[in-house]
Amino acid sequence: MQVKGVQLASAAANIRYKDRDDLLLISLSDRANVAATFTQNAFAAAPVKIAKQHLAKGNIRGLLINSGNANAATGVAGEEACLQTCEAAAQVLGVSSKQILPFSTGVIGELLPVSPFVQTLAALKPALSEDGWERASKTILTTDTRAKLETTECSLAGQSITITGIAKGAGMIQPNMATMLAYIATDLDVDDVQLSAICCEAVQRSFNSITVDSDTSTNDACVLIATGESELKYTDLSPSEQADVVNTIEALMQKLAQAIIRDAEGATKFITVNVNGGQSEADCRLVAFAIANSPLVKTALFASDPNWGRLAMAVGKAGVTGLEQDRVSIGINGVRMMNAGQLDPSYTEEKGQCALSPKEISIEVDIGMGDCATVVWTSDLSYEYVKINADYRS
């Protein structure tokens, strides 16, 4: 689990939550390179704006993350508060404040209090440890019910590299270039340009392929760190080994992304939406997200109601140019419901009910237009989701 060159420390700063860790400091070695993707929400939070500015300057040496307060929609005062917390973290790590990337998650519209950071950060320096991943995974949570932590190893050129990551998120989830918050690190030596390309590619097929409620957070961010402490350079690897690196990072990100869906607010089912037969992957994604975000589809899945007409509706509203309904087929967990745009002759309500009874559901759609495909992961929509979000600020 340890990634050489990454040290983490957590503490309870009482920023919003009482008697639980809510402040995380991550220290990076001098050789580390950092890439990141951020939300494209027009109401991007202050820490997103500051993190983008600092990342552009390079040579990042620390990450500062708090939960409980998003510091979003807080104007110039929010940005100033964010800069002050960066300065406090920089003093602890002995670096410039521009070498700190700040991240926040929690309630939108409340100014970030600076004093808890200043009072708590000094105590974090002696606590920094390469063993801090598990505690860190709990520190960043908000409405999550469990931590998301994954680690793996990859054998390359006779050596073993480690990849470890944490993520948080349970609601306000349909990322656009990132996820709620995710931090992944490896000890492989990867330069900035290559790391950014790997990050963007892996994010597209992991965090950008999940949705709980179609809402893109003001604070979404995904960070990929390469410390270079393994002495193994990405550029020295063969093309097949480089592909192994990308695939391993992507697989780990997918596990974290799927863990977010499994912990989605009020969720009772984990749903995989497979769309095939598109002229482009973009068309397939339009259909997949139209299904995954439909409240009518999601409530039917919660009730185990085999109302396949709602799936047909969602496919039709997706906006795919040239879609012809008599080419569309739809099934759930291997049970064909629609064939060539009509009720499949072999389908019965009993079969449909059985198909929807498991906790893990696979929706299969073929739009009959080409050879492209995609997959999106989502959850059902339950009474509990409404309750959680109705009571969120109380």
Enumerate the active-site residues. Answer: 179
Burial class (CB in 10 A: 0-12, 13-18, 19+), 185: buried
- Cα separation, 40 vs 177, whole angstroms: 7
> Is residue 281 a contact partner of residue 369, using CB atoms and an 8 Å limit?
no
**How open is the CA angle 366-370-371, to the nearest 5 degrees?**
85
Amino acid at 171: G
Give Cβ neighbours of residue 252 (< 8 Å, ≥ 6 apart). Answer: 150, 151, 152, 163, 165, 184
Element (H, E) at 125: none
Rg (CA), the chain: 22
| Residue 115 neighbours by CB distance under 10 Å | 11
Residue 196 CB neighbour total at 10 angstroms: 18
How do strand 181-186 and strand 221-226 relate by DSSP bridges?
parallel
Largest interatomic CA distance in the chain? 71
How many angstroms from the chain centroid is the CA of residue 393?
23
Cβ partners under 8 Å of residue 136, min gap 6: 8, 10, 24, 26, 166, 183
Residue among 270, 212, 222 at smallest CA distance from 389: 212
Token pair belonging to 110: 């409340």
- Among 87, 116, 84, 99, residue whose Cα is nearest residue 17: 116
Cα distance between residue 329 and residue 335, in whole Å: 11
User: Token pair 């961010």 is at which residue?
Assistant: 221
